Chain A
């Protein structure tokens, strides 16, 4: 009996040791993947050995990161583990599953002035060399270019990891991306302070520290629809409004607009979660109410989108945290009405649909249930002629020149990146020249919700420049001047317009000496 027991133990030992060795050998020699389709990113590359990297230990950590990130068959194993995990963890309640991969740090009480709803301008550097600058275009009353020339450029931190351009981040995960071409110099005693950069004081700004709400949970899955739960900060809203009003102060003859896009959770949450939607609507109303001075015009798209959602139209993606291109179209229609520019009706666009789209709720939030429930992705090609220059906003290299309107679209992206078909990815600085002939030129300062919007304004503005504060690090007033901008639109989802992290980036864009 003892021998039999020993044999079983030996068998077990051989089996475990054999597993470790066999899998180890397989992982050493099997072909390793270089990209992850589900995560929409390039996987870690094998590090190059160098004396310095060996000495500092960087080579070892990089090698390990490469080994762990490029496991042969990783996509299959990821799916298996996601399946097992969801079964192992628990059950849906009323069809709801809460996902929480994103931990959003809250700024709870205003330890630093940036969190008090006030806007403090800072110094920013660097002129922007745009090849297609139009020297003949001179909008009246735009401040002289010399006002924007900066001093004391210094080196920015190096080695900052940049997000994958092929990925549009879910709301509330804004990451400032300092680059080697720009510098933020904190200026405790600014030489020029805007006259009225702050909105009216609210009771919260009295003596008590303001309470800042923040999102505790990431997202929920309800049936076959993923949604982000909302949580925002009133202080951040005030800072956002102040930043936009500051742009208006600096460029008094430029029209400045703000569009805050509700999350899909505003419309699709089940009854048990309606309080989150109510909170979202209350905050949207509060935010739009902060523009009461009239300096900046709030473009309210909530009612527009709600009408179309109620009519059963596909305004938000089920498997992704963004709106559909149709949703963006309706929002731009409302914007064109408010801005008083012509607008091309969707009936003039050619409509195309891709099947099998599964977006960020699967790839980012890990809602494995959605893998088997893809949705069609519909996009629209504008009838107008347009040429688009795509710059990499990170290093300002020209990425793509599209003189033909079809080139302007990113029709060759894979299905998982379909959202980027119109106007590409987050990290681009795009300049679209159209044949609209309206004499108006628009600058859009946006998050990923803004990505497809210029494609619906080709008949409305002669030139549309689009930047993302997460990537844009140059002087926005140089940009406004050099591109002859007549209208500025701040556009993002409500999460970002109420998040201190994202608003801080807006402030960086708006700040000046």
Chain B
């Protein structure tokens, strides 16, 4: 079940909200959410339900044991056990096939590579539980005492499948007590509408352009077409993922949970480091807090940590070399920026910095797209104007003009132009009401139009549900 399914929007969600809001106490509300969350999960992957429940129980128990033995070697043992269990699950289900393929490739062996079933939302689930165990171990939080609440933390449906990676420290208190006021509901519903529109009206249409060019591979795509496709793809990933995050944050807000932001107009960045402070913030902050300073590189800790973070960032996205290259590619630019230093970077004109960052990011998304290394090679030929298909394809002018509005709308929405206009107008008291009403009307229009589009839509699951 996707957030952008009619089934979810007009059956699951209303039913969940009705039952949730008529439930009198927080205890019942939580029970309702656990039940709906498990149904939501089972809908996508019924097989994994027991596994997820068992792992939730394991992490809950380990959390309690860590708490009980805090400051002792036992706590270290339990946290290590938990990390092994969580990372082991991730490794077994997500990376065994990749590992075996590489062993076969390197050592010329012929080990059978079975097709592994990957439980839905596994990477997000694992990272949530890892952050929980480490936070308990580092005494940042107290371990949860009540299993149903812990189960709710691990399975809460707005963030089960594609994040954000919500930490216990963010919602632990709200698991026990939360209130929902009109502001929460208003923000929640507007985020829901905006996220849906980002996904259905923009992302799903952008990806058809990308597929038209790259659906059959990158070899016969001209250089200009390649540039166009990769720019469109970059915007697609942004709208698809940030749309999902908006909906997740919005739904959670309606239910009284305050998730942290996962995107903050990433294309506004003037450095690659800044890009990662604005893009998939929950993942970046996870690696920063839990991996960057892992003391395994001795004196080379600074650079070793950097390498590890970006290697893992790439690998987290998928069991394929292109993702690892993608992660290390960003790591390389961050290293260069680190070596240059903030002072030198500040001296570079802003326009140059914008061009540099956008080029790096956009080419990065090309690496992200092509899991086949041969295709990635063709992509680079295109980008570097060595495409076999020449400089520009015959159909490019027509196709570009045929999609010009969509392209421009997407481009504008990548930047905080709407909030800027809103802010400007809201400074005039007279305009405040008008802006509020207009924005509300816009959101309702986005909901209705997106729903109509969904009737005619081919199923486009959210990209990040793959991770």
Query: Which A residues form the contact surface with B (CB < 8 A)?
Result: 4-6, 8-13, 15-17, 19-21, 23-24, 27-28, 55-57, 60-61, 64, 67-68, 71, 74, 77-78, 80-82, 84-85, 87-94, 96-98, 100-101, 103-106, 108, 211, 213-218, 220, 229, 272-273, 275-276
Contact = CB atoms under 8 A, between A and B. Distances in A.
Given A216-B220, A216-B221, A90 B193 contact: no
Chain B residues touching A, majority SS: helix
B403 interface: yes
A20 B13 contact: yes
Given A23-B10, A27-B10, A92 B395 contact: no
Given A57-B46, A218-B212, A273 B437 contact: no
13 contacts: A6-B182, A16-B189, A17-B17, A20-B9, A24-B15, A84-B452, A85-B456, A88-B201, A89-B404, A92-B402, A100-B211, A106-B219, A106-B220
Contacts of A87: 405
A106 B14 CA distance: 44
Given A5-B436, A60-B43, A213-B220, A89 B189 contact: no
Contacts of B405: 87-91
Nearest to A67: B7
Contact of B394 (A6, A8, A273): A273
Interface string B307-335: 00000000000000000000000000000
B10 A24 contact: yes
A90 B402 contact: yes
A90 B452 contact: no
Contacts of A24: 10-11, 14-15
A6 B184 CA distance: 11
B240 interface: no
Contacts of A23: 10, 451
B53 interface: no
Contact of A90 (B10, B13, B216, B406): B406
A87 B9 CA distance: 26
Interface residues of B, number: 72
Interface in B81-120: none
B412 interface: no
Contacts of B400: 90
B444 interface: yes
Given A17-B17, A67-B11, A217-B212, 10 more contacts: A5-B436, A8-B433, A12-B440, A13-B185, A16-B193, A60-B42, A80-B452, A84-B452, A90-B402, A100-B211
Contact of B42 (A8, A20, A57): A57
Contacts of A71: 6, 455
B393 interface: yes
B394 A4 contact: no
A216 B406 contact: no
A108 to B, nearest CB: 5
B213 A64 contact: no
B43 A64 contact: yes
A74 B455 contact: yes
B182 A10 contact: yes
A89 B402 contact: yes
A56 B440 CA distance: 42
Contacts of B409: 88
B186 A81 contact: no
Given A16-B189, A103-B216, A64 B5 contact: yes
B253 to A, nearest CB: 11
B248 interface: no
Contacts of A272: 394, 398
Contacts, number: 190
B443 A16 contact: yes
A77 B452 contact: yes
Nearest to A4: B433
B443 A12 contact: yes
Given A16-B193, A16-B443, A19-B444, A103 B217 contact: no
Contacts of B216: 103-106, 214-216
A7 to B, nearest CB: 9
B147 interface: no
Contacts of B432: 5
B298 interface: no
Given A12-B186, A19-B444, A84 B401 contact: no
A60 B44 CA distance: 8
Given A8-B440, A12-B440, A81-B453, A20 B10 contact: yes
Interface in B159-204: 182-183, 185-186, 189-190, 192-193, 201
Contacts of A56: 46-47
Interface string B193-236: 10000000100010011011101110111000000000000000
B403 A89 contact: yes
Contacts of A276: 394
Contacts of B219: 106, 108
B51 interface: no
Contacts of B1: 64
Nearest to B221: A216
A104 B43 CA distance: 31
Contact of B404 (A90, A103, A211, A215): A90
B6 A21 contact: no
B356 to A, nearest CB: 30
A28 B405 CA distance: 36
Interface in B391-434: 393-395, 397-407, 409, 432-433
A2 B90 CA distance: 49
A351 to B, nearest CB: 37
Given A16-B193, A98-B398, A100-B211, A64 B404 contact: no
Contacts of A57: 42-47
B455 A78 contact: yes
A91 B401 contact: yes
Interface centre among B192, B405, B407, by most chain A C-beta atoms within 10 angstroms, is: B405
A276 B398 CA distance: 14
Nearest to A21: B14
Interface string B440-467: 1001100111011111100100000000
Contacts of A97: 398, 402
Nearest to B458: A101
Closest 10 pairs (CB-CB, A-B): A103-B215, A57-B46, A106-B216, A100-B212, A9-B186, A24-B10, A77-B455, A93-B401, A90-B404, A12-B440
A88 B192 CA distance: 21
A85 B11 contact: no
A98 B395 contact: yes
Contacts of A77: 452, 455-456
